[in-house]
Amino acid sequence: MKTFIVHFLIAFFGSYVYFKYGDPLVPYNAIWAVLVASFIMFLLWLTSPFYHRAYFHKLPQAISLFVYFLKELVVANFRVAYDILTPNYRMNPAVVAVPLTVSTDMEITLLATIITLTPGSLMIDVSADRKYIYMHTLYVKDNDMEAAKQEVKDGFERRILKLTR
Amino acid sequence: MLDNINFLLIREIVSSVLIIMGVIFMLISSIGLLRFPDFYIRMSAITKGATLGLGLILTGMGIYFNEPDMLLKVLLIIGFTFLTSPVAAHVIGRTAVRNKIPFWGPTDLEEFKDYLRKEHSNHRDHERDNKHL
Amino acid sequence: MSLFSFTLIFAMAALSVCVVMIGIRFAMGPTLPDRITCFDLFVANIIGIVAIYTELTGNQDFIDVAIILSLFGFLGSISFAYYLMKSSR
């Protein structure tokens, strides 16, 4: 995590300084800026096995988590938009208690942030013994609470566990 | 060959398409804010639509201004919005639970009863403590 | 007037309609947390309007307003919710 932040800052400011004060080979626009930043990131990632071996495997998983999260964000937004624009409600809200496998502070924070950013689900609280989180969700099919829990556990929590352990 | 392409036109088209998409998301979330029946449903469905719409509008603006400074500022605003929006939603939601805002009728509260009972009895304990003081 | 600036003015008009709808919910919202949510959404809309206005005029100084507004909107809604939590106990 620390390595990722340091690499990201180096890539970000490297790209910024290159286009602002350097003598760029390509004309500036947003696409080239992002490409140069990811190229610096890629070079730094290639050097990482010498000092931080785990980071070499974890960056692809982090990217796959990010892409999956973006996909979920857009899909859930369209589902809620469909529900808003058609006259009848299709939703079936419930508050479910999702049992947690993740344990440390950072993992719980990451999971809660991702759940809250996805439309249609809102995290209310963590139970006192940190075994459950209470999640308010909109779409429970046929009153099947287990399926809603399993969706969270298979989707986000499995990827976060892969990333942090 | 590169000289024949009108880059300004391309930027204008991309930027206006992104802005129109963002505005449509904003409009849908405002209609939902008026239509949905219950505070928690409004909260969980609406705030994120507005966040996505704002991100799209700002991205379109950053693409139109063709400068590193502008892109830096736009990325700063987008990152800050995406970081703080779930925190605010979580805090407001928990405040609503503590203040006993009612849930919508069909909501399934089977697994949430224990938490609600504990929370509200805590509430009464505090009132008693304050009287004692 | 080009098609591009027409699009931007149309987008600003749509966002203004959004602000009016949020105002209606702000006036009739049954409870106080509803109004805090409205305030949050209101700040997001104003940031969007400022961004589109920046693009329309081409004056780059206005984007600083949006940065400050995003900071203060978050602070405002958090402090409002905190006050509500403390006062109910």
The pLDDT value recorded for residue C13 is 92
Instruction: Give the sign of the dihedral formed by CA B35, CA B26, CA C39, CA A70.
Output: positive
Mean pLDDT of each 10-residue bin along chain B, 133 residues long: 71 88 89 84 81 89 82 87 86 83 72 70 55 47
pLDDT given at position B126: 52
- Residue B83 CA to residue B79 CA, distance in Å, equals 6
Q: Taking the mean position of all CA atoms in its chain, how far away is CA C55?
A: 17
CA angle A139, A162, A134 (to 5 degrees): 35
Residue A107 has pLDDT above 70, yes or no: yes
Q: Please give the residue range of the domain that contains residue C8.
A: 3-88
Backbone angles phi, psi at A94, to 5 degrees: -160, 160
Mean pLDDT of chain A: 79
Is residue C36 within 8 A of residue C75, CB to CB? The reply is no
Mean pLDDT for the stretch of residues A25-52: 77
What is the pLDDT confidence band of residue A77, given thresholds at 50, 70 and 90?
confident
Number of domains into which chain A is organized: 2
Other residues' Cβ atoms within 10 Å of the Cβ of residue A79: 17
CA distance A76 to A155: 14
- Comparing alpha-carbon positions, the chain A residue that sits nearest to B53 is A77
A91 — pLDDT class (breaks 50, 70, 90): confident
Sign of CA dihedral A63, A65, A70, A75: positive
pLDDT of residue B122: 64
DSSP state of A92: B
Which uninterrupted H or E stretch holds A137? strand A132-137
Q: What is the model's pLDDT at position B132?
A: 47
Residues 110-129 of chain B whose Cβ lies under 8 A from any Cβ of chain C: 123, 126
Residue A20 backbone phi and psi in degrees, to 5:
-85, -50
pLDDT at B133: 45
Handedness of CA B7, B13, B19, B22 (dihedral sign): negative
| Sheet containing A94-99: order of strands | A94-99, A132-137, A121-126
Total of domains in chain C: 1
Q: In this predicted structure, what is the pLDDT of residue B2?
A: 60
Strand, helix or coil for residue B22: helix
- What's the pLDDT tens digit per position in C11-28? 999 999 999 998 998 898
**Contact present, C81 and B90 (Cβ < 8 Å):** no
What pLDDT does C17 receive? 92
Q: B113 in contact with A at a CB cutoff of 8 Å?
A: no
Instruction: Tell me whether residue A62 is in a domain.
Output: no
Range of the domain at A42: 2-51
Domain limits of chain B?
Answer: 2-105
What pLDDT does A51 receive? Answer: 73
pLDDT at residue number B69: 81
- Convert the pLDDT of each residue in A93-103 to its tens digit: 778 888 887 77
C-beta atoms of B58 and C51 within 8 A = yes
Model pLDDT, residue B111: 67
Q: Both A107 and A156 in a single domain?
A: yes
Q: Which chains does B contact via 3+ CB–CB distances below 8 A?
A: A, C
Cα B125 to Cα A149: distance, rounded to the nearest angstrom: 33
Q: Could you tell me if residue A154 is inside a domain? A: yes
Q: Report how far residue A101's alpha carbon sits from residue B23's, in angstroms, rounded to the nearest whole number.
A: 39
Q: Is residue A41 part of a domain?
A: yes
Q: At A148, which CATH number?
A: 3.30.70
Residue A67 in any domain: the answer is no
- Check if the beta carbon of residue C33 is closer than 8 Å to that of residue B102: no
Query: ipTM of this model?
Result: 0.86
Q: Does C87 touch chain B (CB under 8 A)?
A: no
Q: Which residue in the set C25, C55, C85 is minimally distant from B64, CB to CB?
A: C55
Q: Min CA distance, B4 vs chain C (Å)?
A: 21
pTM confidence score: 0.84
* Residue at A72 is within a domain: no
Hey, CA dihedral for A35, A72, B79, B54, is it positive or negative? positive
Choose among A129, A116, A103, C13: nearest CA to B90.
A116
CA distances from A33 to A13, A24, A37, B71 (A): 11, 11, 6, 9
- Asked if A48 contacts A56 with a C-beta cutoff of 8 angstroms, the reply is yes
